[in-house]
Amino acid sequence: MARTKAVLGAGARLSDYLSASLLAQAFPSESVAACLDRHGRNSRRLRDFHATAGVYYCMALSLYPEASYESVFSVVSSGLAWSAGQPMTQSIAKSSISALRSKIGWQPLQDLMSQHCLPMADPKTHPEAFFAGLRIVAMDGSNFELPDEAANVEAFGYPGSRTGHASYPQAQCAVLVECATHAIFGACIGAYGTEEFKLCKQLLPKLDASMLCLADRGFRGHSRWVAARQSGAHLLWRASTTQLLAVQKVLPDNSFLSQLAPGAGTREERRAQAVAVRVIDYELANAKGERVAYRLVTSLMDHAAAPAHALARLYHERWQVEAVFDELKTHLLQSRRVLRSKTPDLVRQEFYGWVMAHYAVRWLLHQGASRHKLRHAEQSFVAHLNALRVNQPPSGAFSPSKAKKAPPLV
């Protein structure tokens, strides 16, 4: 039975148009055009389906996951035209939208994400986003389902199952997140079978000496530690409680100094390559009341500036990245389990648009949190997502009559 084409509904049209205006605030049209120009993907002439509108469309796909391609594009292109004080555009065929997406590709969106998806918190208004003067960030990986098309299967692969393989191919992704704001400021995508740290390694250039990076046990190991520390960032990673880390000196807070050495090579080679670390062991009760042992390894060596109990409490901020994945998969995609795109390049394009749509919601939330000096955790992601989808901003915020003269966007 053919699926009924979903539409956005005439009653919400004007307020829906404002979504494109808000996307354009987080990702200015001038930057979009510049990214398209750098990659040679911009439109050479004015037309109803200009490439700039196509980039915003790739973001809006995640805001309206159950609506048809044509309906989403109409909202985006008309919304941009309305906010610029220009005439509304005519409807566009699905084939034209697909052709435009193919022309744009995924590289301009990755470039735009890299340029504009940045940490948001300011230490003056959101001190909870920092520890000992360092911005608290976390990295992790996850996977998501794709349309069951031959090209997607070849590029990304199926997860295995007891009966052979899963119903849908899946892609693996990695993200780097500012914990307090949930802002994704680094993201990449790869095949399902890609080792998690191999993807995360692509995000390490986003780290710097102003940050403290949290990560789970999947990132442990000498070579990974050294690679991450070369960014200049400090690290607080979980390690296996069975990992052999010799006690060199016990500190007053019961943490101890040790060395992290490579697992291969002669004793002399391993000793020469070993790096100094500080180890924190503690226990917490789980939901069943059972005691669970934790071991953390950190580059913060000063027990007075970074006490063991404070780091143990801080480490559990790493779970904020799991909340980010929930926002991406559950709230942005709603009931849609699978991305829409049927070719690998368009999957990558949709992925970066998806990340930027999430960032736009978090950007909108951050504006209010900063203005009213509220913690981000006190604000509702879903409420701000719905505001980006359908709610009008204050009267006059995007008044067509006050719009500056600009070249047509659509």
pLDDT in tens, 184-241: 999 999 999 998 899 999 999 999 999 999 999 888 889 999 999 999 999 999 999 8
pLDDT greater at residue 13 or residue 110: 110
User: What's residue 372's pLDDT?
Assistant: 86
Where do we find the tokens 């159950």?
66
Residues 266-309: tens digit of each pLDDT: 888 888 999 999 999 999 888 888 888 999 999 999 999 999 99
Q: In angstroms, rounded to a whole number, what is the distance separating the alpha carbons of residues 364 and 397?
A: 14
Q: Is 173 helix (H, G, I), strand (E, B) or coil?
A: strand
Mean pLDDT in the chain?
Answer: 84
Q: In angstroms, rounded to a whole number, what is the distance separating the alpha carbons of residues 48 and 157?
A: 37
User: What's residue 300's pLDDT?
Assistant: 98
User: What's residue 265's pLDDT?
Assistant: 80
Q: In angstroms, rounded to a whole number, what is the distance separating the alpha carbons of residues 68 and 146?
A: 17
Question: With contact defined as beta carbons under 8 Å apart, do 74 and 13 qualify?
Answer: no
The token pair at 82 is: 């309305």
User: What's residue 331's pLDDT?
Assistant: 86
- The pLDDT confidence band at residue 396, using thresholds 50, 70 and 90, is very low
The token pair at 130 is: 């920092």
Question: With contact defined as beta carbons under 8 Å apart, do 31 and 389 qualify?
Answer: no
Q: In angstroms, rounded to a whole number, what is the distance separating the alpha carbons of residues 6 and 69?
A: 9
Q: How far apart are the first and last CA of the chain?
A: 35
Residues 323-349: tens digit of each pLDDT: 999 999 988 887 677 889 999 999 999
- The pLDDT confidence band at residue 41, using thresholds 50, 70 and 90, is very high
For 10, how many CA atoms within 13 A lie in the half-sphere containing its CB? 0
pLDDT greater at residue 204 or residue 372: 204
Query: What are the extents of the domains in the chain?
Result: 1-112+380-410, 117-325
Residues 166-177: tens digit of each pLDDT: 789 999 999 999
DSSP string, 89-105: PPP--HHHHHHHHHHH-
Q: Is 120 helix (H, G, I), strand (E, B) or coil?
A: coil
Q: How far is CA 153 from CA 159, 170, 357, in A?
A: 10, 8, 26
* pLDDT exceeds cutoff 70 at 17: no
DSSP string, 133-148: TEEEEEEEEEEEE---
Q: In angstroms, rounded to a whole number, what is the distance separating the alpha carbons of residues 257 and 395?
A: 59
* pTM for this entry: 0.87
Q: In angstroms, rounded to a whole number, what is the distance separating the alpha carbons of residues 71 and 64?
A: 9
By mean pLDDT, which of 37-41, 263-267, 317-321 is the weakest? 263-267
Per the document, the length of the chain is 410
Q: Is 121 helix (H, G, I), strand (E, B) or coil?
A: coil
The token pair at 245 is: 């880390």
By mean pLDDT, which of 46-50, 128-132, 146-150, 207-211 is the weakest? 46-50
Share of the chain above pLDDT 90, in %: 56
User: CA angle, corner 327, sides to 49 and 57, nearest 5?
Assistant: 0
- The pLDDT confidence band at residue 395, using thresholds 50, 70 and 90, is very low
Q: In angstroms, rounded to a whole number, what is the distance separating the alpha carbons of residues 135 and 126?
A: 11
Q: How far is CA 156 from CA 147, 173, 189, 343, 346, in A?
A: 11, 11, 10, 10, 13
User: What's residue 68's pLDDT?
Assistant: 82
User: Which residue stretches of 178-303 are H helix?
Assistant: 196-201, 222-229, 267-273
Q: In angstroms, rounded to a whole number, what is the distance separating the alpha carbons of residues 388 and 356?
A: 13
